[in-house]
């Protein structure tokens, strides 16, 4: 559509180095971002080593929409995990698009709805599971199907233990101990490029059991 082209001319791209921050917690900026390449992360940092990872974003994912919607300051920092490129959609353009495209508004509401569901699950996980089962749950949540019909799932690029610890609110030492145990049990395998979940069904079964207990 002609409108599409007009909007595009009002957006620009921004490149980030791994580790660079795009938005800081409580910033007053309101632009919205679309990931073109690389991996970005929404993070709440309290002090050195105390970070909660709230979300991970890859090609095609929208980020930073909350401040554009409710006009409040940034709820978290957005930082590049790898080198990344994002499209910056200025606040005014974002609202122009919403005003003229009911389909986009609907898709955005669905996205927000899914984010709330994911957060609900995370709150439950953190409320009721001990560290070991929170780790199993995070491994399942962060992995994707290998897509070869074998039922294995992978996390690639692999997360280091300190990052997994931030996902589940635990320490690196505890995560390392549990990961070693999972490797011994042949439930996971670690390569230089991925963490492979060899038997995701067994991990799910253990979580269900812990929740019922």
Q: Is 103 one of the binding residues for a second copy (CB under 8 A)?
A: no
Residue 65: name the closest of 38, 37, 105, 15 by CA: 105
Distance CA 145, CA 192 (A): 18
Q: Burial code of 71-104, b = ≥16 C-beta within 10 A, e = fewer?
A: eeebebbbbbbeebebbbbbeebbebbeeebeee
Is the Cβ of residue 13 or residue 110 nearer to a second copy in the bound state?
110
Shortest distance, CB of residue 16 to a second copy, whole angstroms? 22
Shortest distance, CB of residue 81 to a second copy, whole angstroms? 19
Residue 134: name the closest of 101, 175, 96, 95 by CA: 175
Which of 8, 18, 72, 160 forms a contact with a second copy (CB under 8 A)?
A: 72
Q: Is 66 one of the binding residues for a second copy (CB under 8 A)?
A: yes
For a second copy, the binding residues (CB under 8 A) are 44, 46-47, 50, 52, 54, 65-66, 69-70, 72, 75-76, 99, 102, 105, 108-110, 112-117, 119-120, 122-124, 126-128, 168-169, 211-213
């Amino acid at each position: 559509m002609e409108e599409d082209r007009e909007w595009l001319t009002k957006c620009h791209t921004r490149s980030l180095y791994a580790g660079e921050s795009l938005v800081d917690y409580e910033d007053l900026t309101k632009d919205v971002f679309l990931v073109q390449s690389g991996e970005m992360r929404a993070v709440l940092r309290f002090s050195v080593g105390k970070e909660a990872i709230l979300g991970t974003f890859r090609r095609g994912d929208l980020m930073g929409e909350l401040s554009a919607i409710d006009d409040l300051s940034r709820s978290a920092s957005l930082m590049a995990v790898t080198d990344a490129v994002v499209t910056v959609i200025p606040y005014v353009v974002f609202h122009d698009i919403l005003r003229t495209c009911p389909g986009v508004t609907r898709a955005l509401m669905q996205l927000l709805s899914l984010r709330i569901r994911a957060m609900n699950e995370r709150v439950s996980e953190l409320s009721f599971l001990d560290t070991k089962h929170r780790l199993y749950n995070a491994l399942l949540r962060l992995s994707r199907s290998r897509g070869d019909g074998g039922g294995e799932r992978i996390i690639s690029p692999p997360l280091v233990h300190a990052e997994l610890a931030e996902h589940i609110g635990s320490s690196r030492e505890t995560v390392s101990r549990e990961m070693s145990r999972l490797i011994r049990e042949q439930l996971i395998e670690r390569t230089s490029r991925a963490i492979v979940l060899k038997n995701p069904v067994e991990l799910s079964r253990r979580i269900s059991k812990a929740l019922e207990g």
